[in-house]
Homo-oligomer: A and B are copies of this chain.
């Protein structure tokens, strides 16, 4: 796992450098907006989506430089969704990544605008990325937009999640909500890396399948951590999704069966990689990394 730790450190450094380059400084007017954006982006996120962009891209032969802007763009879209999710009218959470949520620190108006702008900056970054051909930029914009919008993307999943609150959703509904709310962006991150590397359609399909399972595994482990960990450890309010009767796995299957489900899904992710005639160690290691959060 030493190689994986080095990879994760490299991902963080490359992604943060790209984010710092792509986002106006805190001293740029309007300073409140840029401070709010930077507060949220540099709050110590795991850079999990960038890691998938890089891991997928490197697996198919892309180089780090070609992947950095796309990786940062996925992180910007993810961060915008967190900033808006934490708003009082949404999940109403004061704590994010161990710090005050954006709207607590900068007020609701600036938080709404910071989220709006982070989304814009993501698409601007990709469309202006001189490392990529116009064809590739266009494809990445399409992939990112479809995964973060509606009817099959992240925001649709967030609305379905809100709609499911207070009633007991079926396991099928839970999986569908997760697949859109978090899975779509994770799958798109894997696809984006592969597209930048010029991967063939069959390889693209296999890495998408892998990432769907990885995203599901990520969500299941998140749900388990929400129940088993403390707020201090998580850096966000613990037990909250469960208490709100939101669509969670432990709420439906119980904790033990959820753990078993995590193991099965991890195996499915590994199986999807067997279709690739590539060195898939990096992608396999990511499965292990997520599994290690709950074991």
Contact = CB atoms under 8 A, between A and B. Distances in A.
Interface string A101-126: 00000011110110111011101101
Q: Is the interface of A mostly helix, strand, loop or mixed?
A: helix
A89 B103 CA distance: 10
Interface string A31-48: 011100100000000000
A34 B150 contact: yes
Contacts of A110: 159, 162
A28 B180 CA distance: 14
A168 to B, nearest CB: 18
A87 interface: yes
A122 to B, nearest CB: 9
Contacts of A138: 127, 134, 137-138, 141
A159 B84 contact: no
Interface string A53-94: 000000000000000000000000000100010010110000
A128 interface: yes
B89 A159 contact: no
Contact of A141 (B107, B123, B160, B163): B123
Given A121-B149, A151-B28, A84 B116 contact: yes
Interface in A156-182: 156, 158-160, 162-163
B150 A24 contact: yes
A137 B112 CA distance: 28
A277 interface: no
B155 A116 contact: yes
Interface string A252-273: 0000000000000000000000
A51 to B, nearest CB: 23
Contacts of A24: 150-151
Interface string A137-153: 11101100110111101
Interface residues of A, number: 52
A283 B28 CA distance: 35
A148 B127 contact: no
Contacts of A87: 89, 112
A123 B109 contact: no
A201 interface: no
A155 B33 contact: yes
Given A112-B112, A134-B134, A145-B123, A155 B117 contact: yes
A163 B107 CA distance: 12
A115 B155 CA distance: 10
Nearest to A143: B127
15 contacts: A24-B150, A84-B113, A89-B108, A109-B159, A112-B112, A113-B162, A116-B119, A117-B149, A117-B155, A117-B156, A120-B149, A120-B153, A123-B123, A124-B149, A126-B141
The 7 closest A-B pairs by CB, nearest first: A120-B149, A89-B108, A124-B145, A127-B141, A30-B159, A33-B159, A134-B134
